[in-house]
Amino acid sequence: MTVAPAPDGMVPHAAAPRELAKALGTDLRCGLSSAEAAARLRRHGRNELIAEAPVPAWRRFLAQFQDVLVVLLLVATAISAGLWLHRRDAALPYEAIAIFAVVLLNAAMGYVQETRAAAAVAALRALSANAASTIRDGERRRIAAAELVPGDLLLVEEGDTIPADARVVATTALTTGEAALTGESLPVHKSIDVVDADTGLGDRVNMVFTGTTATYGRGMAVVTATGMQTEMGRIAGMLTGATEEPTPLQRELDRTGKVIGLVVVGIAIVMSATIIVVGDVREAASIADVLIFGVALAVAAVPEGLPAIVTAVLAIGVQRMARRSAIVRHLAAVETLGSASVIASDKTGTLTKNEMMVRRLVTSSCGCSVGGSGYGPDGELAPDGGTFGDEARAEIDRLLTAADRANNADVTEQDGRWIVHGDPTEGALRVAAIKAGLRSADLAARLPRIGEVPFSSERKLMSTIHRDVRGGGNVVFAKGAPDVLLQRCTREVLGDGTRPLTEDRRREILHCNDLLARDALRTLGVAVREVPAEAFREGTPPDPSLEQELAFAGLIGMIDPPRPEAAAAVARASGAGIRSVLITGDHPTTAAIIAQELGISADGRAVTGAELERMDDAALVRTVAEVSVFARVDPLHKLRLVKALQANGAIVAMTGDGVNDAPALKTADIGIAMGVTGTDVSKEAADIVLADDNFATIVAAVEEGRAIFANIRKFLRFLLSSNIGEVATMFFGVLLASRIGLPSEHGTLVLPLIATQILWINLVTDGAPALALGVDPADASLMRKAPRARGERVITARMWRGIVLVGAIMAAGTLYVLDAALPGGFVEGRGTLVHGQTMAFTTLMLFQLFNVLNARSDEQSAFVRLFTNGWLWLAIALSIGLQLLVIHVPALQRAFGTVALGWSDWLRCVAVASSVLWLRELSKLATRALSRRGVE
């Protein structure tokens, strides 16, 4: 296997860290400078795999003509033009020119729709691009992974997806999952040791690779290869060529379109054959006209553009969601959002501000309050007794020293605002230490870290080992859940020393912990232990025994206040029939208080992870139906909770941020990852990523999801009813030709509408108005309705009834106008055939414009929110303007077989066409009355 060398030919995994850093021109403490990184980015290119070459615009445009019906129409048009060349019965082949122009316009509209949808999807991919933590200019920074360059210092933490190939130069129990690259099923433990140059890929334990995942621990690595130079880049063929899978909605619409298409094509074939046989059509020109008519009818009536329009509407809607901080990774999630009946949310950062602030410190001798707000270092420590004694001061300093050192966060000031890089809880501990007069730089110099046992959700604690520069030995600092940490403690810190930890003191500490939790404070225990220098050697895995026989230093009470908008969001979700469930690792009392404050729970009941362990699946299913707060749970409990909620018939949206949350996110109907605090693994497993980690954003996403689905139903209602109206007009117009006054001449084709008119209606009404319906503003009533039922079809039985009713009204009205304009028939008229066809043509077009107002709801009146969609009225005005041109411009009259209409003609067309609005209003009134009585 080939190996990507450093610039001077050095093999990265066979070089010592300092040698490699020198070869790459980087500093292992400060990383690259910003200027050097920019220069390398220009030289090496972006850290991206080369995707398939984009399809040229001209090929995408020609693809619009691949449809069989369009090809047939072009062939028929060519035949018509050929007959004109033979006969020369007109100055120009107006009909052939008009049909070809309409086909070109339809292709152009399809091209624009597909281009816009593709651009929207590409924009969504850019929004969800991965980020990487690096050290540049001596500072920790979060940058786009695509901007990494060789020589960058990459910081890797549990849950990160590795963004580039890199040589490990520091590690704390770092392991990575490399199955995607090497096939190794077990996590690989990483080290900084040099390995042989010819070592196989799977055994390069001092390297991390693009696309693999950090499953545990943390570390630092020097980037050695980016983009196509990485190991994954060498096999980029495995990652390119991926196609967008159609969503269930798109598949259903595709099936619906094909069924309708087959029916319509069958009708067109039968009608064409009937016209030729019954009408005794023998002339070549008339036969060509029949063929053109049949194909035109099929093209106009088949909703072949449904998938493209659906994609465009989904993508545009999803961009609206992105502007509200909800980044959709899978379009199918948009469909499911409308059905969500349960939002199972974490507390920290989602329902709360994720700005932890230390409020209380409790040691063996004293308790004190901590002032200030947010992450700013302003604030003072106020002891309960008014002043600190020497013993109390020593305990507080020892407590906060341990909290500051057993810590991987950084607190920096940027543009006058204090920012935490890392875990918010750890950031709050560092801020508290600063308020107590303890500077992190001084502590780091006195107590340099030499080892770490990282935090895990199973252990619920973390420990760090430090060399005590003053004392000469080593010291262990541990922090974690108080009840867990106390089990590892045998002594208690008292002043400068320690004393045995009695059972009475254990009970007192746990009681104090409960009191803090009842004040909605999140509690953390801190412990210390001094060990001989020979008990731990730097660079070796820590012995688990180092976390035993600890001395308990005290309790720290922190608060993460609820977000101001959270309570309103919970209430809004409840009004939409969506139940909110709180799932957290926090203390049950704290969780219950927050849940009551936000309106999630009224009874204050919280079930703990320990209780869940004792429940079988049947008991859990019963419990989740009654309880809305689950505390002290781990990620495996989340998975059981999701399944239990689903067993009760719920459509579950689940939030998560950790590596171990991935199974629950995958299992949930909608997996929602935290964009700020979430790991790359959780984001990959999720359907939606919250850019602001805010519960209110989830509710907003549900609203947008419902609006998108409602808009899809609107244009489906419009397109299908309009198409049925066109087909029924032509079918019954031919069937009843002699009864409605259409002249019958031997060998000559006489139809209610000619082919160009049918295609024109399809162009001006199925394009802009349908897309305008797709961006209709959300109706406020959407969030006052129950979620859509699981398995409910996109076109319901009620919708089909409305679609068929509207199609029948349109056909009847159009044929009535045609009959009234012609001599004979049911209604006596005095017009010519061309005048009658023009009247029918205009009426059918206006029918569809009135119908677009109907289509906004199957139940609500069209006059509600009538002017909220400016795009819709613009589309209607555009359609009317184009129709006026076709009717009154002489050149277009010849192309489309029309004559000018007078004011009285226009008024008659408008009056008849408006009947679809008034009659549909009556049917909606009946529907609302039946709904109030509980009848579907």
So which residues are the catalytic ones?
Answer: 346
What Cα–Cα distance (Å) separates residue 920 from each residue in 805, 856, 914, 935? Answer: 8, 12, 10, 19
- CA-based nearest residue to 850, from 879, 884, 870, 871: 879
> Running DSSP on this structure, what letter comes out for residue 526?
E
Helices 248-278, 284-301: inter-axial angle, 10-degree rounding? 160
> Running DSSP on this structure, what letter comes out for residue 895?
H
> Running DSSP on this structure, what letter comes out for residue 394?
H
The SS3 of residue 170 is strand
Dist CA 565 CA 572 (whole Å): 11
Alpha carbons within 13 angstroms on the beta-carbon side of residue 816 total 14
Q: How many residues does the chain have?
A: 936
Q: Tokens standing for 151?
A: 């020589």
> How many C-beta atoms lie closer than 10 Å to residue 377's C-beta?
15
Q: Which residue has the tokens 């030499």?
A: 450
The SS3 of residue 415 is coil
Dist CA 456 CA 564 (whole Å): 30
Dist CA 236 CA 258 (whole Å): 36
Q: Tokens standing for 19?
A: 């040698």
DSSP assignment of 774-837: HTPPPPGGGGGSPPPPTT--SS-HHHHHHHHHHHHHHHHHHHHHHHHHSSSSSS-----HHHHH
The SS3 of residue 150 is coil
Q: Which residue has the tokens 């049925």?
A: 724
Dist CA 30 CA 534 (whole Å): 31
What Cα–Cα distance (Å) separates residue 345 from each residue in 121, 160, 725? Answer: 27, 22, 48
Give the containing element (helix H, strand E) for 887: helix 870-888
Cβ-proximal residues to 405 (8 Å cutoff; 6+ apart), any chain: 443, 444, 447, 449, 464, 466, 477
Rg for the chain, CA atoms, rounded = 36
Cβ-proximal residues to 11 (8 Å cutoff; 6+ apart), any chain: 3, 5, 197
Cβ-proximal residues to 503 (8 Å cutoff; 6+ apart), any chain: none
Strands 474-480 and 461-467: antiparallel
Q: Which residues sit opposite 474 in a β-bridge?
A: 467, 531
Q: Which residues sit opposite 327 in a β-bridge?
A: 689
Q: Which residues sit opposite 453 in a β-bridge?
A: 463
- CA-based nearest residue to 191, from 464, 543, 539: 539
The SS3 of residue 128 is coil
Helices 566-575, 695-735: inter-axial angle, 10-degree rounding? 30
Give the containing element (helix H, strand E) for 493: strand 489-494
The SS3 of residue 698 is helix
- CA-based nearest residue to 703, from 371, 403, 321, 442: 321
Dist CA 726 CA 736 (whole Å): 15
Dist CA 825 CA 737 (whole Å): 9
Q: Tokens standing for 382?
A: 């106020």
